[in-house]
């Protein structure tokens, strides 16, 4: 079994969960923010949609130079845009994860900003922390946004107050 095979299986399971949450994002609330410093609902959902494919793309190199505008997130106009971006992102990430060699997974990867090294760790660790854990973090954030908007939440890791996989 390849080193990243368990991660690929986890990714597939989590993609299904993330899809269920993104499907609940209401188009008429995309510009809503819980706080002036927060991303809008649409920006957060779009970020969640594109994280896996974006990370899969940048980790194919040995290093990546982050630009100053890297944390400027686009504002989608419709939930459909978010779901389309998500489907492409999932395809790109899955294709990468299926093809990455154990040697490449163990290889060092760096994130830099100018002369400053922000991250320097094995590629597999980047995939775990940035592609997966970071993704889950933002998905949890999105579930709070949806709850604040009184949008029924799907089951994520068990029953929500609105839905039970056991019913």
Task: Give me the pLDDT at residue 81, please.
Answer: 98
Burial tier of 69 (Cβ tally within 10 Å: 0-12, 13-18, 19+): exposed
Closest by CA to 40, choosing from 153, 150, 157, 141, is 141
Query: What 8-state DSSP symbol labels residue 28?
Result: G
CA distance 55 to 47: 11
Name the pTM for this structure.
0.94
Q: Give all domains of the chain, ordered by start, each with its CATH number.
A: 5-148 (1.20.120.450)
Q: Match 């839905």 to its residue by tokens.
A: 163
* Torsion of the alpha carbons at 122, 127, 130 and 136, rounded to the nearest 10: -150
Q: What does each of the 167 residues of the chain score in pLDDT, given as a tens digit?
A: 588 999 999 999 999 999 999 999 999 999 999 999 999 999 999 999 999 999 999 999 999 999 877 778 889 999 999 999 999 999 999 999 999 999 999 999 999 999 999 999 999 999 999 999 999 999 999 999 999 999 999 999 999 999 988 87
């Amino acid at each position: 079994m390849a080193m990243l095979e368990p991660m690929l299986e986890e990714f597939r399971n989590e993609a299904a969960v993330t899809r269920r949450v993104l499907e609940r994002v209401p188009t008429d609330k995309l510009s809503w923010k819980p706080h002036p410093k927060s991303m809008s609902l649409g920006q957060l959902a779009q970020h969640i949609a594109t994280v896996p494919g974006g990370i899969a793309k940048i980790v194919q190199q040995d290093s990546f130079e982050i630009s100053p505008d890297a944390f400027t997130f686009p504002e989608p106009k419709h939930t459909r845009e978010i779901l389309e971006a998500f489907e492409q992102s999932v395809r790109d990430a899955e294709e990468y994860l299926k093809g990455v060699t154990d040697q490449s997974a163990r290889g060092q990867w760096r994130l830099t900003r100018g002369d400053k090294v922000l991250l320097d760790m094995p590629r597999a660790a980047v995939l775990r922390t940035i592609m997966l854990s970071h993704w889950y973090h933002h998905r949890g954030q999105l579930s709070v946004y949806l709850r604040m908007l009184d949008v029924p939440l799907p089951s994520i890791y068990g029953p929500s107050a609105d839905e039970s996989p056991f019913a």
